[in-house]
Structure formats: structure tokens, C-alpha cells
Amino acid sequence: MSEESEPALKLEGVVKRYGDFQAVRGVDLEVPSGEIFGFLGPNGAGKTTTIRMVAGVLQPSGGRIRISGHDLASEPALAKSRVGYIPDRPFLYEKLSGGEFLRFVAGLWGKEADQVQDRVDRFLHLFHLTEWKDELIESYSHGMRQKLLITSALIHDPTLIVIDEPMVGLDPRSARILKDLLRRYVDEGGTVFLSTHTLEVAEAVCDRIAIIHEGRIIALGTMDELRAEADAGGAHLEDIFLKVTGGDEMAEVVASLRNAVGPSEVGSAGVG
């Protein structure tokens, strides 16, 4: 079967155990090309663990992950070459300049700097990083690091972008640019798999959403489908999140999430 006829991402019975503890408890998921798919859940739900397994940096304890039909376990090089991964706690070489870092990443993908220069310049310009490209990364703010990282993840022209908490640390302008960039990317046939604990981000950015709780998907669909499932016509996703997950415990989680909205997340609330 050709890559095009395969889903961009497919998870079958994916499990992750840390010792006796099951962080991810049998996740099944199919994301077609051209979709922004969001993984939404409270802290500790299993989002980062799942994202890291899809990115190929953490091995599942069970189940199977396919990227455009390529099995991550049996065809790792092919599968990973299709993925651009943007982690939530990235590692950047502080003593390199932004430009040097991007050339380094291009080299890891076997590309010469001049092969990717146009692409890199376009993103640096878009993110207002051009004048910073020769400065050392150690002088970059959190938001600038995030933008550099996004650029580095797009260098090899991946078909699937995997992002853990994409909007955290970005100012409203950069959050808007990233949202537009992701939309343009999927309009051109790319696919995005992202995690967020921020309801506004899921609602504003994603075509479909899976709500994950204690390692299991407990609801999945478009906003309208989730609304129908929660029997809450016209409700805001936050209400749906509460209704679908239910229980006082989840109400406390949502309330504390609301209280925990800091300056970095205020920007994401404006992504609409």
C-alpha cells in the first residue's frame, strides 16, 4: 500500500509501563493526513508519554505505532524520517548560535546547509529571529528557544509534526503565527499531533480532540461530536471536559488548571 493511502499516524493498543505503574493503558488512535489532532488531559494523564512514544524517543511496553504505514519498531529510520518532534523540555546547545544549531540539525538529517537555507530563512523571518541567528542560544528567551526549536523540527520537511504543549512560552503574536503555520501545513497535506492541558488551545487549534485521563482515551471527536457526547449543545469545551470526565476529582483538576494559568498561558488563551 502507498504511504498516501495510509493514515499519517496509527496507534494500536499502545501501552507504557514504568515498573508496576501503567502510564498509558492501551491507546487506539488513527489520525488521517491533513488534520490537527489534539491530546487533551490534566497533568499526569499520559500525554507526554504518548507523544514521546510517537516521536520514537520512548519505547512502548506494548502495542504498535505506525507513521504513514511504517512501523516505528520494525522500520524506525523510515518512520522517524517522517516526523518532526518538538518536545516540551527541549535540549539546545547553549554555546551554538541559532544559525549554527539549525545547520547542525540539517546535518543530522544528511542535508547541506544550502539545501535548507531558503526554508530556514523563511521561518527565521516569520518568527522575527533573523537578527538573532548569530547570537548564542544562551542569550535567547524561552519563547525564542521555542521558535528556534519549531524551525529545527521543520527542516527535513516532515509529514507529521508532533508537539508537546506547543503554545506554552509563546507571546500572543508568536502563538498566532504558530497556529497559522500549523494550519497552512495541514492544508498542504501535513498532519499535526499535539498535546495540551489548555482547553482554549485544543478548541482554537485542533480539528479533532482526544481527552485522555489516567492513561486512557475517554472521549474522542470533533468539538461538535464531543458536544453531542456530553449532551451539552453549545457548551464550551471546558464544560464538556468536565461533563465527559465527570466527578469531583476532575472538577478540582479543572479548577486548579484555571487557577494555574500564568503569564505564558495567557497568550495561548488569545489564540482564536
Q: Is 97 in the site for ligand ATP (CB under 6 A)?
A: no
Rg, Å, the chain Cα set: 19
Q: Which stretch binds ligand ATP (CB under 6 A): 42-50, 103-111, 124-132, 153-161?
A: 42-50
Beta carbon of residue 23, minimum distance to ligand ATP (angstroms, whole number): 3
Nearer to ligand ATP, 91 or 234 (CB): 91
Buried b / exposed e along 153-190 (16+ C-beta atoms within 10 A) = bbbbebbbbbbbbbbbbbbeebbbbbbebbeebbeeeb
Cα-Cα-Cα-Cα dihedral of 157, 264, 211, 216, to 10°? 90
Q: Is 59 in the site for ligand ATP (CB under 6 A)?
A: no
For residue 224, which of 206, 242, 251, 212 has the smallest C-alpha distance? 206
Q: Is 23 in the site for ligand ATP (CB under 6 A)?
A: yes
Distance between CA atoms of residues 5 and 170, nearest Å: 35
Q: Hey, how many other C-beta atoms are within 10 angstroms of the C-beta on 138?
A: 12
Q: Is 213 in the site for ligand ATP (CB under 6 A)?
A: no
Among 4, 28, 43, 73, binds ligand ATP (CB under 6 A): 43
Q: Is 49 in the site for ligand ATP (CB under 6 A)?
A: yes
Beta carbon of residue 105, minimum distance to ligand ATP (angstroms, whole number): 24
Pairing assessment for the beta strands 9-18 and 21-31 based on DSSP bridges: antiparallel
- What is the pattern of x (binds ligand ATP, CB under 6 A) and - over residues 161-200? ------------------------------------x---
Residues that bind ligand ATP (CB under 6 A): 18, 21, 23, 41, 43-49, 197
